[in-house]
Structure 1
Amino acid sequence: MSSNGTFTENEEAPTYAPSIPVPNVQELVREDPSQVPQRYVRDMEDRPKDTDMSHLSSLIPLIDFSLLLLGNKEELNKLDLACQDWGFFQVVNHGVAKEVLQKMKDVAAEFFELPLEEKNKNAMPSDDIQGYGHIYVISEEQILDWSDALMLAVHPSHYRKLKFWPKSPTGLQEIIEEYSNAIRKFGTELLESFSLIMGMEKEALLGLHKQLIQAYRVNYYPPCSKPDQVLGVSPHSDSSTITILMQDDDVCGLQIKHDDDWVPVNTIPDALVVKVGDVIEMWSNGKYKSIEHRAVVNDERARISYASFLYPHDEVEIEPLIDPKTEQLIYKKVKYGDYLRNSMKTKMEGKAHTHVAKVETLA
């Protein structure tokens, strides 16, 4: 760490958490589209229900980022309410070029169509989460998600472990770089608006990160012959500050938990989805909610999603940015690196992982 409180390139790239290797779901489907191994079948109470909550989808907040950049008070108020009531919103006019979004979609689709042996050249190691494979697998008895993923640290650049960055298809590395840079610019500007609605100077939240860390995860959800028995991703909230997600334009699958209902998130062409993460919930002492979400699958088409996680440096201590004399503390001070690794060493199970950061009388 330098004298001005920032972290330098001499710092070693961190490892995060181990994950037990499990079968490749895409390959299972290729070999026999009708099979759904028992390890993927959910208990009855955890399966996606037939109840249709699509009428609530239109209520999901939509933020015009061009207005936020101008400091528009009405749009800032919409952001404030979205973070309180939903912990989630979609963003238009975000400044990420349409052709950059499309290039990322095209090259990711090419990667997942490669033969398994080619993708396994970048297989995730047993002691970390960068590479191609599965994370959050902590036991042989665990019910598995119906998905495969490519997970990479992208910023700062010395956090990258390039042996896990695929060399095929041609141009993938450059497009991930271009896409991630554009997303980071948007995310940094969005954090300025978060600072304002939290009553601080524009640069305050970014400064609290000490160094903004960015990870990137591409999720591949193959079709499933029994989609009502599996989940693409288990219900969870993100341990990030914010998560910025790009969805396929024409295949829905993301659902968010709102008032105990699972609400499908309809895709809006070229929009980006933003999820409030646990860090914002802790900094705001629970005023803003990290959103519990999951992914469902279908029996006809594969779906790909593109998640960018922005979060603080490991050494940052997270605590509510409030006066404890005027407001009861819900969260205690935690070292972010410890919190993050704790969440990664447990299976994804709603918001159970947040309890380690709660004041004991409220845990």
Structure 2
Amino acid sequence: MDSNIKAFAEEEYIPTYAPSLPVPNVQEMVRRDPLQLPERYTRNHEEMQNSIDNYHLSFEIPLIDLSLLSKGDKAEPNKLDLACKDWGFFQVINHGAARNVLQGMKDATAEFFELPLEEKNKYSMPANDIQGYGHAYVVSEKQILDWSDALILIVYPSHYRQLTFWPEQPKRLKEAIEAHSTELRRIAVELLDSLSVIMGMDNDALLGLHQELVQVLRVNYYPPCCNPDKVLGFSPHSNSGTITILMQEDIISSLQVKHGGRWMPVKPTHNALVVNVGDAIEIWSNGRYKSFEHRAVTNENMARISYASFIIPHDDVEVEPFDHISDGGRSCTRMYKKVRFGDYLRQSIRRKMEGKAHTDFAKIET
């Protein structure tokens, strides 16, 4: 194929992922009637139990110093290894992302969500995909809904962007997304280097499996709820991709991780970023590292916004346990089969979130 034709074909290809049924806008519903709690959002007691509210337990989630990792510190990789084994979550400090860039993202997106609904609806998700403004993972008219709205955009590679879904207002939002995503892309590359090393490979091994990094931004808006003990902002799930980097608000905690059968809060650490291991890492490591279930809760008094950047492989990448891990010297049964990542991702998005039920697609039946 002529190189110019090939380049044009690559630029024209923009993947779609999965449809999601249209549902009411939660922010607008709360604005009209703050005391309204429709049955379709109400969870039963079993779904809401086993939650631990003691903040001191959240301190157990490890802090990883990215500057030490990048400088070749000997102790920090061991901390990262234990974090991925025991929690699947850690908070990154000294990551180098400029505070004005992170704050600029918060300010611009907060301004977007305060726009009139008719303005935000100009960027509504299409019938066949989840890019844009709206709700993902809604596959049934009867499923219980999350107490949140979202803006989802593919940021990298840049030729995947569907700019019709990038809001024009506020004017600084596009620039803020670009700056924020560029910083997090750099951090993701550094983390993939370190994860490769602690998995016993060359530092560029995981990055090589990603070709161009695919980076998806999801900004979640969680309105206050008159009865927060009966709703969830985000249903329990694990992330399908490689890693997720999350920026939280400093003063409002809503992220919870399921550990030891109980839901534990992740207390925000000032200027830290929360990172979690995705299903792809769990499969590559043959279950050595875990993609833990997590969810988001709401509160009665304040809206909350979170900013998740998902780092995922390209559709055609085949994901399976690395031979040196699954066939190593220790007794080790291969737990996962080879899957095409695009197939794995789409089967996950096409169903409602039910913890880790979607990972059965990649598991070897025993």
Which AA in structure 1 matches 2:135?
A: H
Could you tell me how far apart the structure 1 residues matched to 2:2 and 2:132 are? 30
Most deviating of 215-224 and 321-330: 321-330
State the identity %: 64
Q: Tell me how far 1:240 sits from its aligned partner.
A: 1.0
CA, structure 1 residues 42+236, in 2 after alignment: closer, same or farther (shift >3 Å)? same
Q: Secondary structure at the match of 1:275?
A: strand
Could you tell me how far apart the structure 2 residues matched to 1:348 and 1:205 are? 27
Q: Does 1:163 align with 2:203?
A: no
> Over aligned residue pairs, what C-alpha RMSD do you find?
1.7
Which AA in structure 1 matches 2:239?
A: D
Match of 1:340 in 2: 345
Which AA in structure 2 matches 1:229?
A: K
Match of 1:85 in 2: 86
Could you tell me how far apart the structure 2 residues matched to 1:304 and 1:223 are? 11
CA, structure 1 residues 58+28, in 2 after alignment: closer, same or farther (shift >3 Å)? same
Correspondence list, 1:69-218, <5 A: 69-218=70-219
Which AA in structure 1 matches 2:131?
A: Q
Q: Secondary structure at the match of 1:225?
A: coil
Which AA in structure 2 matches 1:287?
A: R
Could you tell me how far apart the structure 2 residues matched to 1:128 and 1:118 are? 20
TM-score by length of 2: 0.95
Correspondence list, 1:304-323, <5 A: 304-323=305-324
Most deviating of 324-333 and 189-198: 324-333
Match of 1:22 in 2: 23
Tell me if the contact between 2:21 and 2:139 (Cα under 8 Å) persists in the aligned partners.
yes
Q: Tell me how far 1:325 sits from its aligned partner.
A: 4.1
CA, structure 1 residues 10+113, in 2 after alignment: closer, same or farther (shift >3 Å)? closer
Q: Secondary structure at the match of 1:267?
A: coil
1:101-128 deviation digits (Å, cap 9, x = unpaired): 0000000110000000000000111110
Q: Tell me how far 1:170 sits from its aligned partner.
A: 1.1
* Paired residue total: 359
Could you tell me how far apart the structure 2 residues matched to 1:315 and 1:25 are? 36
Could you tell me how far apart the structure 1 residues matched to 2:53 and 2:116 are? 37
Could you tell me how far apart the structure 2 residues matched to 1:341 and 1:36 are? 31
Match of residue 359, structure 1, among 336, 357, 364: 364
Tell me if the contact between 1:256 and 1:265 (Cα under 8 Å) persists in the aligned partners.
yes
Tell me if the contact between 1:148 and 1:220 (Cα under 8 Å) persists in the aligned partners.
yes
TM-score by length of 1: 0.96
Tell me if the contact between 2:216 and 2:309 (Cα under 8 Å) persists in the aligned partners.
yes
Q: Tell me how far 1:50 sits from its aligned partner.
A: 6.0
Q: Tell me how far 1:58 sits from its aligned partner.
A: 1.1
Q: Tell me how far 1:356 sits from its aligned partner.
A: 0.6
Most deviating of 12-21 and 41-50: 41-50
Tell me if the contact between 2:219 and 2:308 (Cα under 8 Å) persists in the aligned partners.
yes
CA, structure 1 residues 185+2, in 2 after alignment: closer, same or farther (shift >3 Å)? farther
Could you tell me how far apart the structure 2 residues matched to 1:49 and 1:287 are? 25
Q: Secondary structure at the match of 1:120?
A: helix
Q: Tell me how far 1:51 sits from its aligned partner.
A: 4.2
Correspondence list, 1:23-42, <5 A: 23-42=24-43
Could you tell me how far apart the structure 2 residues matched to 1:89 and 1:210 are? 25
Q: Does 1:328 align with 2:329?
A: no
Q: Tell me how far 1:54 sits from its aligned partner.
A: 2.6
CA, structure 1 residues 116+197, in 2 after alignment: closer, same or farther (shift >3 Å)? same
Could you tell me how far apart the structure 2 residues matched to 1:196 and 1:45 are? 41
Tell me if the contact between 1:48 and 1:231 (Cα under 8 Å) persists in the aligned partners.
no
Could you tell me how far apart the structure 2 residues matched to 1:203 and 1:23 are? 44
1:153-209 deviation digits (Å, cap 9, x = unpaired): 000011000000000011101110111011001101110000000011111100012
Could you tell me how far apart the structure 2 residues matched to 1:53 and 1:85 are? 19
